[in-house]
């Protein structure tokens, strides 16, 4: 009688444990959503009074569009990118600020974008990736004359890449562009 009661208690415990484990596993699986492309569409009013509208949009790679990478793409550590950055548009006080595609197409798995201002420069900071593929990209806009882009790791102890772009089209229309980045 005691053995039979012990079996029933043990069996009941195992059924309860198995049911609880199944519920926990299924709720954990449904809580893990597939990664979604990053989308940022926001207008900022900076302390100087400048109005800055930023649109940054990633999209899923079309079949066959994205190739396996080992280097040259920020936000991952090898493999095939899930997303490609398709739009990075900046408008400052109603004027389009041109950022050439080659300066944002190599950013993927973006997770955060912030806009601030320092010494009359507009600063856009992007973060993305994870682990060894994590990056921080900082765009420092110099008036309408051009910009500087710096990229470093998640913990920004050293700059991994630095690019400066001069907007030669602005030199004739903006007298402050004589020395490049302002």
Averaged pLDDT for residues 21-43 = 68
Model pTM greater than 0.75?
A: no
- Residue 157 in 3-state DSSP? coil
How is the beta sheet containing 83-92 ordered, strand by strand? 39-45, 51-60, 83-92, 95-97
Q: How confident is the model at residue 123 (pLDDT cuts 50, 70, 90)?
A: very high
Q: Which two tokens stand for residue 101?
A: 């595609």
Of the candidate ranges 3-7, 28-32, 80-84, 153-157, the one whose mean pLDDT is the lowest? 28-32
pLDDT at 143: 65
Of the candidate ranges 25-29, 125-129, 131-135, 157-161, the one whose mean pLDDT is the lowest? 25-29
Assess whether pLDDT exceeds 90 at residue 52. Answer: yes
pLDDT at 137: 94
Rounded distance, CA 108 to CA 105, Å?
Answer: 8
Q: Which helix (H) or strand (E) holds 5?
A: helix 2-31
């Amino acid at each position: 009688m005691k053995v039979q009661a012990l079996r029933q208690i043990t069996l009941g415990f195992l059924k309860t444990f198995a049911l609880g484990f199944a519920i926990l596993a299924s709720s954990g699986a449904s809580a893990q959503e597939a990664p979604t492309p990053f989308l940022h569409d926001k207008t900022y009013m900076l302390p100087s009074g400048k109005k800055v509208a930023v649109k940054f949009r990633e999209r899923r790679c079309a079949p066959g569009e994205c190739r396996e990478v080992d280097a040259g793409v920020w936000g991952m550590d090898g493999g095939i990118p899930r997303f490609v950055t398709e739009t990075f548009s900046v408008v400052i006080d109603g004027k389009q600020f041109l950022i050439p595609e080659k300066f944002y197409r190599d950013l993927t798995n973006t997770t955060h974008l912030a806009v601030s201002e320092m010494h009359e420069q507009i600063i856009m900071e992007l973060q993305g990736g994870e682990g060894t593929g994590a990056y921080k990209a900082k765009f420092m806009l110099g008036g309408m004359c051009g910009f500087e882009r710096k990229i470093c790791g998640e913990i920004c102890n050293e700059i991994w890449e630095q690019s400066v772009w001069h907007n030669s089209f602005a030199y004739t229309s903006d007298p402050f562009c004589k020395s490049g980045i302002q």
